[in-house]
Chain A
Amino acid sequence: MISFRDVSVQVEVPVAGEPPKVKTLLSGVNLDLAERRVSIIGPNGSGKSTLLRLMNGLVEPASGQVLVEGVDTKKTKKVRKLVGFVFPDSLSQLLLSTPLDDVQLSLKAVIKDKNERRPKAMELLESRGLGHVAEQSIYDLSGGERQLAALTSILALEPKVVVADEPTTALDLKNRYIVNKVFDELEQQVIYATHDMEWAERADYTLVVSGGRIVASGNPADCVAFYKDLVFR
C-alpha cells in the first residue's frame, strides 16, 4: 500500500539578481494505491517522474506525507529497502561494469558471506536468461539485456514494491515486449510510468498526470481514453 496525504513538491529555481523563484512540480496529491499494477501516464514534464521519485525518498515533499507500507518516505534508509526503483536509463542505473559485478553489489545488503554472493548473483542472472552475458561489459549488451540486468540488481535487494520510471521507453518492439512481460509477471506490487498506452492499459489501476496534478484515476481503459482526449482535443 502506498499512500499520499495532500502532497506537494516544490523546487527553488535560481534567477539572476533576484531571490530564487519557487516552482511547483506537483500539488494536491491524495492517493491510496493498493492495486498490484498501477500505471502512470501523462505528457512530458507533467510530473510522472517526480511522483515516482517521491515513493523512494529520492524527492522530498514540500508539504504532506508519503507512506509506503506505513513507512514515511522521510525514513529513506527504511523505505529504500522496501522500494526498488528502476530508472529509464539502465546505463546510469548499473553502477559497475558487468551485470555480475552489479548484482553482487546489490547482494552485499542481503548476503554477508562474500563467497556466497557470486554464485547467487550468477543464479539470479541465469534465471532472467542473462547467464551468457553475466561477465560482459554492460556497454556490449543490448538495451533489453541491460534493462533486465538492472532489474535483476534491483530485485536482488528483495523489495516489497517495484517502482519503474519508463523502463521500456528506450527499447525496440521486441525488447519492450520481453521487459514488459517480466514486469507483468513480478510478484511484487509494481508502479510504473510509461508512454506505451497498451502497457498502461494492462494495469489494474491508472493515474493520469498533467501539469503537476492528478487529473484522472481509476479504470485503465477509461484513463487512457481520457488522456488521449486531453491531448487530441
Chain B
Amino acid sequence: MNQVFSIYVPGHSLMHRTPVWLKYVLMLGIMFSSIIVMQWWYSVLCLAVSMLLVLATGVGPRMGFKLSWGVYLMAGLLLAFQLFLGRPEIAVAVSVNIFAAIYASRMLTISTPESTLIDALVSGCRVLKPLGVNPETVGLAIGIMLKSIPMLMDTVGIMRQAAKARGMQSNYIMIMTPVVVRAVGYAQETGAALAARGLAE
C-alpha cells in the first residue's frame, strides 16, 4: 500500500540532484507536448525519455517500471476505443502517452521529498496570488490530500475484509456506503484536527 503512494526514495542520483523546478518542467513538458503533438513516434520518444529519467533516479527497473493492472486496463480501453474509431495511429499515441506521463511523474516523486514538491508548487502558486489564491493554503490542502490517500485506501481494504469475514462477496458497490461513511467521518476529524491546531482560521 505505502509503496504505491509514499514513493520518495532517498538518494543522491542525478535526478535527486536536479533542481525541483527543472523536474517539474521536464514532467509537464513530456505530458503536454505528447498530448499536443499526438504522433505515435513522438509518444514513443517521450516514453523512452521518461523511462530513462526514471532509471536516472537510481531505483532500478523493477521498482521504477512496475505498474498496477489498472493502468494497463485504462491504456487498453483507450487503445480499443481509438481503434474502434478507426484511428490506429492515435490509438498508439494516446495509450503510450499514458505510460510516458506516469513515468515522468514517477521520476519527479521518486527523487523529490514531498515537502520539497509542495514547497515548489506553493512558490509556483505565487503568480496566482492576485487572483485571491493563498499559496500556503493550496500547499496545505495538497499535503493533507497526499497524506489521506493511504488512509482511504486502507479503509477500502478493511471494508472488503469485513465483508469477506461475514461471508459476503466483496464487491465494490456494496462496500461503497460504509467507505463513504468512514471517509466523511475521517474528513470531520481532519477538520477538527486542523481547527485544534489553529490552522482553520
Task: Show the binding face of A for B, using Cβ within 8 Å.
Answer: 53, 56-58, 76-77, 80-81, 84-85, 87, 89, 91-98, 100-101, 104-106, 109, 135, 137-140, 153-154, 157
Chain B residues lying within 8 Å of A135, measured Cβ to Cβ, are: 10, 113
Q: Name the distance in Å between A23's Cβ and chain B's nearest Cβ.
A: 18
Residue ID in chain A nearest B186 by CB atoms: A92
**Interface SS of chain B:** helix
Q: Does B196 contact A (CB under 8 A)?
A: yes
Contact in complex: A154, B143 (CB < 8 Å): no
Give bound CA distance, A72 to B190, whole Å.
24
Contact in complex: A87, B192 (CB < 8 Å): yes
User: Contacts A77-B201, A106-B197, A157-B198 given: A98-B114 contact, CB under 8 Å?
Assistant: yes
User: Contacts A96-B143, A97-B147 given: A80-B198 contact, CB under 8 Å?
Assistant: yes
Residue ID in chain A nearest B6 by CB atoms: A137
Task: Show the binding face of B for A, using Cβ within 8 Å.
Answer: 1-2, 6, 10, 113-115, 140, 143-144, 146-147, 150-151, 186, 189-190, 192-199, 201
Chain A residues lying within 8 Å of B192, measured Cβ to Cβ, are: 53, 58, 87
Contact in complex: B189, A89 (CB < 8 Å): yes
Chain A residues lying within 8 Å of B190, measured Cβ to Cβ, are: 92, 95
Residue ID in chain B nearest A114 by CB atoms: B119
Give bound CA distance, A11 to B145, whole Å.
30
User: Contacts A87-B189, A137-B2, A139-B2 given: A97-B196 contact, CB under 8 Å?
Assistant: no
Chain A residues lying within 8 Å of B1, measured Cβ to Cβ, are: 139
Contact of B193 among A81, A93, A98, A100 (CB under 8 A): A93
Q: Name the distance in Å between A111's Cβ and chain B's nearest Cβ.
A: 14
Chain B residues lying within 8 Å of A92, measured Cβ to Cβ, are: 186, 189-190, 193
Q: List 9 A-B contacts (CB under 8 A).
A: A58-B195, A89-B189, A91-B151, A95-B193, A95-B197, A101-B115, A139-B1, A139-B2, A157-B198
User: Contacts A101-B115, A105-B140 given: A94-B197 contact, CB under 8 Å?
Assistant: no
Q: Name the distance in Å between A11's Cβ and chain B's nearest Cβ.
A: 14
Contact of A80 among B6, B146, B195 (CB under 8 A): B195
Give bound CA distance, A29 to B144, whole Å.
36
Contact of A104 among B115, B189, B194, B197 (CB under 8 A): B115
Contact in complex: A97, B6 (CB < 8 Å): yes
Chain A residues lying within 8 Å of B196, measured Cβ to Cβ, are: 56, 58, 80, 84-85, 87
Give bound CA distance, A57 to B197, whole Å.
11
Chain B residues lying within 8 Å of A76, measured Cβ to Cβ, are: 195, 201
Q: Name the distance in Å between B114's Cβ and chain A's nearest Cβ.
A: 5
Contact of A97 among B114, B186, B193, B195 (CB under 8 A): B114
Chain B residues lying within 8 Å of A94, measured Cβ to Cβ, are: 147
